[in-house]
């Protein structure tokens, strides 16, 4: 993963509202389940389904505007450069269960001829958990963890009805 961002929820994957800077580690893992339809002492068919997908992003930069976007809290500031001061409440009870947000995950890729392309994974509805921190560690610094569950949705990242249920979509572009 080369980039991750929280989308604004109205204008699509091109309108990034909250960049997650300095991504150092990430994963997107589907949580699936299945049922074996058995008869005559054998498996006749298998029913598979997706419950949600786990999203994990570890980054080395902590933008206050992104924390405010994920928690619904307000960033306060005072002073002028170089003596400016910023503050955002952390782990308040009102910020623990905010509404889901659409998310963009960008991955560098190549086409069948080896030409560079970009693969975007657009997740329609991600319910984020409270942010957590790792470190600080020598030569690694403090890392912030953004963890969420990409849930099935009947609307895309702009809020438009899909007519079916999906977690997101893949887009490939130069």
Structure confidence by residue, pLDDT tens digits, 100-121: 999 999 888 998 888 999 899 9
Residue 98 has pLDDT above 90, yes or no: no
Q: Are 97 and 90 in contact (CB under 8 A)?
A: no
Residue 16 has pLDDT above 70, yes or no: no
Which residue has better confidence, 80 or 149? 149
What's the confidence (pLDDT) of residue 125? 96
Average pLDDT for 8-21: 74
- Matching residue, tokens 């994974």: 121
What's the confidence (pLDDT) of residue 137? 83
Domain boundaries defined on the chain: 3-32+49-173
For 91, residues 6+ apart whose C-beta sits below 8 A from its C-beta are 130
What does the alpha-carbon distance between residue 77 and residue 67 come to, in Å, rounded to a whole number?
A: 15
Average pLDDT for 42-56: 94
Confidence of residue 14 (pLDDT cuts 50, 70, 90): low
What's the confidence (pLDDT) of residue 96? 85
Average model confidence (pLDDT) across the chain: 89
What's the confidence (pLDDT) of residue 15? 60
Using CA of residue 58, residue 29, residue 54, residue 123, what is the dihedral sign?
Answer: positive
**How much is the pTM?**
0.86
Structure tokens at 81: 């450069």
Please write the tens of the pLDDT for every residue from 130-165.
Answer: 999 998 888 778 899 999 999 999 999 999 999 999
* 165 alpha carbon, distance to own chain's centre: 18
């Amino acid at each position: 993963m080369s980039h991750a961002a929280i989308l604004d929820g109205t204008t699509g994957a091109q309108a990034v509202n909250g960049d997650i800077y300095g991504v150092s580690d990430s994963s997107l893992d589907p949580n699936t389940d299945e049922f074996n339809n058995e008869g005559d002492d054998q498996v006749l068919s298998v029913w598979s389904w997706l419950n949600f997908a786990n999203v994990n992003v570890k980054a080395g930069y902590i933008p206050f505007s992104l924390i405010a976007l994920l928690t619904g809290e307000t960033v306060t500031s005072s002073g002028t450069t170089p003596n400016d001061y910023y503050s955002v409440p952390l782990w308040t009870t009102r910020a623990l269960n905010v509404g889901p947000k659409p998310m963009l995950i960008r991955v560098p890729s190549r086409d069948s001829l080896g030409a560079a392309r970009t693969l975007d994974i657009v997740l329609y509805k991600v319910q984020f958990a409270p942010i957590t921190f790792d470190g600080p560690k020598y030569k690694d610094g403090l890392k912030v963890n953004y963890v969420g569950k990409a849930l099935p949705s009947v609307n895309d990242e702009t809020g438009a009805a899909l007519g079916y249920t999906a977690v997101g979509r893949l887009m490939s572009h130069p």
